[in-house]
Chains A and B, each alone.
Chain A
């Protein structure tokens, strides 16, 4: 039974957040819905005195776009690939980091460093690492193969065309996955490490006394107790993954794909940006709401799965 006093208190505690959210989040969302339902709405046209008919044409246009399915596939694929990989890797690093004594401070600082590194810098490094310069039409001559291909060649492999003209879809995707995972690591490590530090040491002490094996400690104590934080990084990872856009621009530029397949890697948010660049807020809003519906469904699903497996 929920007592009234707690009800009242809860809303009081939430009030500052609610007021601010109403003004700066809920109202804009409401406005987004409004814009999406006005045919071909454009903020600038509206400022010029144009009026717009009410209708669902914006939604139709988005869904009818011939690359819509491609954008959706790319978005989903990137999410499904990057979230598990980055979460597992971050978990492994955080747990290992938490288990060592010497060098812990230094390594922890290093893992945080990319977080204060500008994303522009990271994007440029990646582009340079995978980029082949001066690839000839014959496909076997080039001026610079890039560091990654140099490493592959060093181990006797054949260089791969990662991002340049003539590259394959899977190669493009591989680069994106590596880049996004790399980008996501520092934040996830920080959160998981914070979570690990909050786990009461007594659990571990008890396990030690009982002589529990390392593996068992990990699966029976660490992961369950860390599950709220894991849930956090997974859910926010998915939300972030669905909003993937700037990382693709970072590697492929505004063409969103290799030169001979422009737009091949475009995502839902990339699609929204395209609409915004011609001031078509109506269409951008419709695309955003469609994306919103998709993420909402995934998050609800995630929540259901996680609820089953999370130890609170």
Chain B
């Protein structure tokens, strides 16, 4: 009897301890995440408050953590600086077209590298990785000459085509495909499923979080690209949003008007942020459901 009671007490004690530990772990987890979140959030906060300061306040020796006087006009100025509607449409066209095409190319290449056996596969892949290592600025001059000879200046083509292949994304997706058990592929082969069908029905859904990450990154690339578009398509009809907004940044003395620049950056970032909020649930949607069943 006594023994039994003792045992029950012990059990109670253990489960209590476990609860404490569990709570402690949870607490630490949240503490860690929140601290990191605050640290990570700081530049974002800084961008917003800087965008609302006057240039004089921005140049103060002792930086202020909250604008003394909120200058909403910076946003008006950034907005008025360019034909924002047209810039937005251009950027959307380039962003969507290059994202879609890039996804197709990336999926096909990553599949070949991850699942197909072919001669020279590893060498090809290493070579591909190697191309990432040369600073892009060195390519600009040669590529500029190439697109001039192709007569692509001031077209959407020149904004979309040269950067469709990203070794980064092929690499990323290949790594994701490698996570998917090979048994699935072999089983599909036995069933007589075609590669493309297998790719579309199994691989793509399983790699959805990565594909969405790539989509976001690629869209952001179109959004933030500056140097290349300015060189090759800086006409009214094709100008992209960053190029259009950059015009608001310089003051008459040639200094950068940072508050207005920050306002412009915030304006440009807002749609991206919304896209992310919208897509986030797809990234987070557990794909476990579509895994091997039974």
Contacts and interface: CB of A to CB of B under 8 A. Distances in A.
Is A in direct contact with B (CB under 8 Å) within the complex?
A: yes
Contacts of B164: 16, 20
A273 B137 contact: yes
A100 B135 contact: no
A112 B175 contact: no
Given A193-B283, A199-B179, A21 B276 contact: no
Q: Is the interface of B mostly helix, strand, loop or mixed?
A: helix
Contacts of B62: 133, 143-144
Given A124-B258, A236-B171, A198 B207 contact: yes
A63 interface: no
B151 interface: no
Interface residues of B, number: 91
Interface string A150-166: 00000000000000000
B206 A21 contact: no
Contacts of B269: 116-118
Contacts of A7: 118-119
Most chain A Cβ neighbours within 10 Å, of B43, B105, B170, B206: B43
Interface in B32-84: 32-34, 36-37, 39-44, 46-47, 50, 61-63
Interface stretch (B6-14, B87-95, B108-116, B231-239): B108-116
A231 B129 CA distance: 13
A108 interface: yes
A243 B138 CA distance: 13
Nearest to B212: A194
Q: How large is the interface on A (under 10, 10 to 19, 20 to 34, 35 or more residues)?
A: 35 or more
Those 4 A-B pairs whose CB atoms lie nearest each other, nearest first: A201-B288, A228-B175, A194-B209, A10-B118
23 contacts: A3-B117, A6-B117, A7-B118, A13-B116, A16-B164, A21-B128, A26-B131, A28-B138, A32-B138, A100-B33, A108-B280, A110-B41, A111-B40, A115-B220, A118-B47, A197-B209, A198-B206, A198-B210, A200-B291, A201-B288, A232-B171, A291-B135, A296-B133
Interface of B: 25-26, 29-30, 32-34, 36-37, 39-44, 46-47, 50, 61-63, 104-105, 108-109, 111-112, 116-119, 121, 124, 126, 128-135, 137-139, 141-143, 146, 161-165, 168, 170-172, 175-176, 178-180, 195, 206-207, 209-210, 212-213, 216, 220, 224, 258, 261-262, 265, 269, 272-273, 276-277, 280, 283-288, 291-292
Interface of A: 2-3, 6-7, 9-11, 13-14, 16-17, 20-21, 23-29, 31-32, 43, 89, 92-93, 96-97, 99-100, 103-105, 107-118, 120-122, 124-126, 128, 133-134, 143-144, 182, 185-186, 190-191, 193-195, 197-202, 214, 225-226, 228-229, 231-232, 235-236, 239, 242-243, 269, 272-273, 276, 281, 284-285, 288-289, 291-292, 295-296, 299-300, 303, 312
